[in-house]
Amino acid sequence: MRRRCIPSALTAVVACSAVVCAAVQSCITVPPPDLATSPEHPPIIDDDGAVPVEGTTLGAWPATLSIPIELFDADASFEYEVFVDYDPMTTVAPDVGPILVRIPPNLVDGGIYLLEVETPAAPLDGLCHKLEVVVAHAFVSVHTPDSVGGDSIGWWVGPNGCPTSWQQDGAFPADAPYDGIQLVPDSGGSE
């Protein structure tokens, strides 16, 4: 009876060895999976750190602008454009740019890169103008960042200040009367 146990035990050891060898072989021959890539991030403007401060009305045209850009990748690059009185209906090209900025990793301080922008020549008409800088991963057209995204910052510049009615996003002064058809929702009452 002892003779039967030895061949059975020997067979079991050989079978286990074969399974272990196959498992080791499959672990070695299967290539590692591709590492997940992190999504690209747009450049973000730190509005509070910009010089001059965003949203202020400037009495004199600035020669340069200092704009802190937050970057999520140490070796990131981005583009910027500068506009004076951007109008989506008539502006066909930026006043400056697009300019590609490639940043060596040692120039990014805590994820912030200080972008120094030279502004275009000041308009000589003495009127109020909107100065705007748009940053983007890349641009697909004038003033339009690609799908990764972008950010913008702007200032009003006028030798004697700018009327507050000009400093809005709409096409008309803030106090202009509404001249369209006013829709009144149905109260749902009886007829």
- Residue 53 is assigned to a structural domain of this protein: yes
pLDDT by residue (tens digit) across 114-165?
999 999 998 888 889 999 999 999 999 999 999 999 999 999 998 877 776 5
Q: Are residues 15 and 64 in the same domain?
A: no
Burial of 136: CB neighbours in 10 Å, binned 0-12, 13-18, 19+: buried
Domains held by the chain: number:
2
Does the residue 86 lie in any domain?
yes
Residues 146 and 100 in one domain: yes
**Per-residue pLDDT reduced to its tens digit, 48-106:** 899 998 888 899 999 999 999 998 876 678 999 999 999 999 988 989 989 999 887 66
Are 19 and 75 found together in one domain? no
Could you list the residue range(s) of the whole structural domain that residue 26 is in? Answer: 1-31
Of 91, 67, 94, nearest in space to 152 by CA: 67
169: pLDDT strictly greater than 70: no
Number of neighbours of residue 71 by Cβ within 10 angstroms: 19
CATH, residue 106: 2.60.40
What predicted TM-score, i.e. pTM, was given to this entire model?
0.67
Confidence check: pLDDT of 191 > 70: no
**CA triplet 127, 65, 55: central angle to 5 degrees?**
60
Beta strand 150-157 with 57-58: parallel, antiparallel or unpaired? parallel
In-domain check, residue 190? no
